[in-house]
Structure 1
Amino acid sequence: MASSKKSHARAQPCVLPGGFTVLALQFSPDSAAQHQLFVKEHRVRAETSSHRPQDRTLFVLNVPPYCPEAVVKDLFSQFGSVQSVELRDHPGSSKESGPRLSKFFRQAEKQGFKVGYVVFQDSSSVTAAKSHPHNVPLVVCTEQRPVRTGVQKWIQQYTDSFIRPENLQKIVDSFMEDYDKRKEEEAERQRKEAEQQQEDEEGWVKVTRGHKGTKARPHTEAANQRTLQKEMRKKKRKELMNFYTWQHRNTQKEHIAELRKKFEEDKQRIALLRAQRKFRPY
């Protein structure tokens, strides 16, 4: 009777003071070493993203480098259907800090332990993962799910780094089609704006009445640029060149200074040509 009580006590989950539950991780069935994962239910007040629902998301710490997202998904699938898995270097918001790049131009990932967010289909899966006994390890590498490490992993990563030309060509063609479509839409929009705000010979702009309930259109960049050019032309017409004596004198001084500068540059160029003519390498 005492032995059954001891075995029942060993099957209880190990809960730490911070609310984390310890899950044992074993690389292979015949491996003697074990690794520990720390999991808890993800509950953050500032988290408003729908990618991490607070009642179905499990926060995982100390994820080893040999466990990518696919492996983590398979490990936690025994507790229930997994919707998504996200591994990050540091805990934080799900919003991406940098621009999204193509899958062919991804930045090099940092090799180290990561934190994970496992989203289940059902909230009961989170409870099942937290109540898992700590003396029953989760096996990473099995015959049905082999995990490569060491040289085999590097060879696989090197092989996967090569891009098939036909796949890359399809992505490039799709991107260029979208780009051409956006450029055509932008050119059409600018043409319509130019027609609506086109000035006549006397400087009047034709204003048409829009649909009922539409708001007034703000000034566009093209309209502001035309207005600025118009003001500059008016200013140049009003400006009198060399009308006063001091204006004519300053113009002559600037012209003489420019001629002297050009004369010095020509002297230096001639001296350089003469030095090159005297140079005899042999």
Structure 2
Amino acid sequence: MAPSKKKHACSQPCVIPGGFTELPLQFSSDSSAQHRLYVKEHRVRAERSSHRPLDRTLFVLNVPPYCSEGVVKELFSQFGSVQSVELRDHPGSSQESGPKLSKVFKPAAKQGFKVGYVVFQDSSSLKEAKSHPHDEPLVVCTEQRPVRTGVQKWIQQYQQSFIQPDTLQQMVDSFMVEYDKRKEEVAERQRKEAEQQEEEDEGWVKVTRGPKGTKARPHSEAANKRALQKEIKKKKRKELMNFYTWQHRNTQKEHIAELRKKFEEDKQRIALLRAQRKFRPY
């Protein structure tokens, strides 16, 4: 009875501190050395991405260099249908800024251990992968799925590096179409921002009807700051207009006073000329 209990204990999954489950990995069936993968359910609440659903994504650590995305997909397909596999040098968000580049235009991938995100079609597949027995290693290279290493891998990579001119032209054309589309979107956004800024400078506010069912946004600190700056700018503009009005009114007063002064001087000059007249006809 003792051996059966020991065998039953070894068939249980191995869970290490941190919530990771240890999965043994073996390159081939006749290989004596084993590798360890550490898997855990992906639970990053801050990442709101549809590419990595929280209930169907498995986070994998310590992926060896000879395991490509296709190999990882085949390894985890025994637990259920795999939707997608993503291998990265470091854990991070799946959102990439800029246009999506083809593998031809991307820099060469770093050779080394990677982290992976395996997305299953069903959440039960994720639970089955986490409950995989510790004494049943995952085999990488089989007769149905041969994996090349060493010189054979280098030769295969060298042969795959050559691309047909037609295929390359299609990649370039699709990239340029996407680039032009993004450029037009940026230009349209800049034009709208310029119009909005011009309306704010003139003191006009453009009111438009939003989409049906949208809720009003709460006042944030940034929105309050922008409103305060707008009020300060409007107050300064009003003070400047009042200053110009006062200056114009003051100039008019000075002009009237100068005209009155000249009128009085002319009256005195006329009176003096009349007093100095020598010819008196009567």
Normalising by structure 1, report the TM-score.
0.62
Change (3 A) 1:214 1:13: closer
Letter in 2 for 1:135: D
Distance 1:175 1:16 in 2: 45
For each residue in 1:134-165, what CA deviation from the matched residue of structure 2 results, as whole angstroms up to 9, or x when unmatched? Answer: 11100000000000111111111110111111
Counting only pairs closer than 5 Å after superposition, residues 96-107 of structure 1 correspond to structure 2 as: 96=96, 100-107=100-107
Counting only pairs closer than 5 Å after superposition, residues 1-282 of structure 1 correspond to structure 2 as: 1-96=1-96, 100-174=100-174
Task: Report the CA distance between 1:101 and its aligned residue.
Answer: 2.2
Change (3 A) 1:73 1:42: same
Decide which structure has the larger Cα Rg and report it. 2
Letter in 2 for 1:11: S
For each residue in 1:159-207, what CA deviation from the matched residue of structure 2 results, as whole angstroms up to 9, or x when unmatched? Answer: 0111111222333455567778999x89xx9xxxxxxxxxxxxxxxxxx
Distance 1:40 1:90 in 2: 15
Distance 1:161 1:174 in 2: 20
SS at match of 1:104: coil
Task: Report the CA distance between 1:102 and its aligned residue.
Answer: 2.6
Q: Which runs of 5+ in 1 are unaligned?
A: 190-212, 216-282
Letter in 2 for 1:114: K
Q: Work out whether residues 57 and 126 of structure 2, in 8 Å CA contact, stay in contact via their aligned partners in 1.
A: yes
Bigger mean CA offset, 159-168 vs 58-67: 159-168
Distance 1:214 1:43 in 2: 38
Task: Report the CA distance between 1:39 and its aligned residue.
Answer: 0.5
Query: What is the percentage of aligned positions where both structures have the same residue?
Result: 79
Task: Report the CA distance between 1:97 and its aligned residue.
Answer: 5.1
Q: Work out whether residues 99 and 178 of structure 2, in 8 Å CA contact, stay in contact via their aligned partners in 1.
A: no
SS at match of 2:129: helix
Normalising by structure 2, report the TM-score.
0.62
Distance 2:125 2:6 in 1: 27
SS at match of 2:104: helix
Distance 2:143 2:109 in 1: 27
Change (3 A) 1:108 1:177: closer
Distance 2:133 2:28 in 1: 18
Task: Report the CA distance between 1:2 and its aligned residue.
Answer: 1.8
Distance 2:145 2:130 in 1: 24
Change (3 A) 1:165 1:127: same
Letter in 1 for 2:101: L
